Amino acid sequence: MKIPAIPADEAKRLASLHDSGLLESGVTERLDRMTRLAKRMFNVSMALITLVDEDMLHFKSSAGYSKEAVPRKISFCGHAILSDAALVIPDASRDERFADNPLVTGDAHIRFYAGHPLRLPDGAIVGSFCLIDRQARDFDGSELENLKDFALIVEDEFAVMSAATTDELTGLFNRRGFDNLAKFAIVGARRRAEPLTLAWIDLDDFKEINDTYGHAEGDEALKALASVMTASLREADLRVRYGGDEFAIVFSGTDEQGAWIAMQHLVEQVDEWNRHSGKPWKLAFSWGISEFDHGGSGELRPWMKDADQKMYAMKVKNNKGR
């Protein structure tokens, strides 16, 4: 088995993928319609829209295949992102790169693969639109052009999703929304000489919820925290799902002591949610707060880093207390 090479621009490619918010945003019906249509149109077992992260291949949409992530090192799409052109494998069992790949020899029984690379608006190749079948088959020029058309439509959809400022799963602001609005909040607070405090939040045991109860329950945990945040905080507080299981709150006109009180109230409301949720898992989070330093550089990143470090210190303390 040949492990996919690493693109020369890998660091930039990964940064673009993470900044796009595509890994965190939920699956859209528009993308699901595309994969369902492609599966029927090309008469294949599976049609997928994939994203290639540092170590894992994630399925943004899937028709006919499990949506669980797979290791990048055994993925076909890890090879597909290495070129601008589509990668076509008529019979993987006869291709020396894939013949002993567990996706070929195992239950997936992949034989045919055709994947067209997918680009973000900045040109970074972040995944592929791919067709998979359990039978070897040819793929002619007209089919290749049709696959390219599907990929171009998905790229347009990616551009819309990347420009969005709202997280589809939780309804909170996303990373892009935070980066823009937090900067405005800083400018306003400095102009009015008002306090401004950032809370950084990370769900506890989120991986265990996903691994034990499935990703659908993991999504429920994310939505539950977002719901409690919305119900517990002021409308003026900027509520954000920054990515994965990371959340943030910007408390306008609030010093560190006031933010501490608000976070304690949020903890109490989460405890109340747990008492009535009926879920087999408990919603819990670690957090850190940092008041904006008006005498500092005014930059967003150092402020975020300080809050994140304080959150991490609480997480370590919580883990030791178990």
Domain encompassing residue 304: 175-320
Task: Identify whether 168 is part of a domain.
Answer: no
- 287 Cβ neighbours under 8 A, 6+ residues apart: 199, 200, 201, 202, 263, 311, 314
Does 293 map to a domain? yes
Other Cβ atoms less than 10 A from the Cβ of 130: the count is 29
Residues 53 and 135 in one domain: yes
Report pLDDT for 103: 95
Query: Average pLDDT for residues 111-137, to the nearest whole number?
Result: 97
CATH number at residue 80: 3.30.450.40
Point out the least confidently predicted range of 15-29, 180-194, 204-218, 267-281.
Answer: 15-29
Residues 64 and 204 in one domain: no
User: For residue range 87-122, what is the model confidence (pLDDT) as tens digits?
Assistant: 999 999 999 999 999 999 999 999 999 999 999 999
CA–CA separation, 213 and 320 (whole Å): 24
Q: Which pLDDT belongs to residue 164? A: 84
pLDDT at 145 over 70: yes
CA 242 to chain centre: 10
pLDDT band at 321 (very low <50, low <70, confident <90, very high): low
Last residue of a domain, one of 163, 190, 216: 163
**Would the pLDDT of 317 be above 90?**
no
Last residue of a domain, one of 163, 189, 214: 163
Q: Give the number of domains in the chain.
A: 2
Res 6 pLDDT > 90: yes
158, 14: one domain: yes
User: Could you tell me the pLDDT band of residue 274, with boundaries at 50, 70 and 90?
Assistant: very high
- The tens digit of pLDDT for each residue in 25-82 reads 766 788 999 999 999 999 999 999 999 999 999 999 999 987 678 999 999 999 999 9
Q: Is the same domain home to 61 and 132? A: yes
Residue-level pLDDT at 284: 96
- Whole-model pTM: value is 0.72
Q: Are 101 and 212 in a shared domain?
A: no
Number of other residues whose CB lies within 10 A of the CB of residue 22: 21
Residue 301: CATH number of its domain: 3.30.70.270
Same domain, 153 and 237: no
Residue 204 maps to a domain:
yes
Residues 229 and 114 in one domain: no
Same-domain check for residues 136 and 193: no
Residue 183 has a pLDDT of 87
pLDDT at 180: 85
Together in a domain, 124 and 91: yes
- Output the average pLDDT for the chain: 93
Residue 20 pLDDT: 86
In a domain? residue 3: no
Asked if the structure places residue 190 within a domain, the reply is yes
- Whether residue 5 lies inside any domain: the answer is no
Instruction: Find the helix packing angle between 175-192 and 300-320, rounded to 10°.
Output: 110
Are 250 and 112 within one domain? Answer: no
pLDDT in the model for residue 67: 66
Residues 252 and 156 in one domain: no
Alpha helix (H) residue ranges in 21-173: 29-42, 77-80, 102-105, 141-163
Same domain, 91 and 191: no
Q: Is residue 113 part of a domain?
A: yes
The predicted-structure confidence for 85-96, as pLDDT tens digits, reads as follows 999 999 999 999
Alpha helices in the chain (DSSP H): 10-20, 29-42, 77-80, 102-105, 141-163, 175-192, 206-213, 215-232, 256-277, 300-320
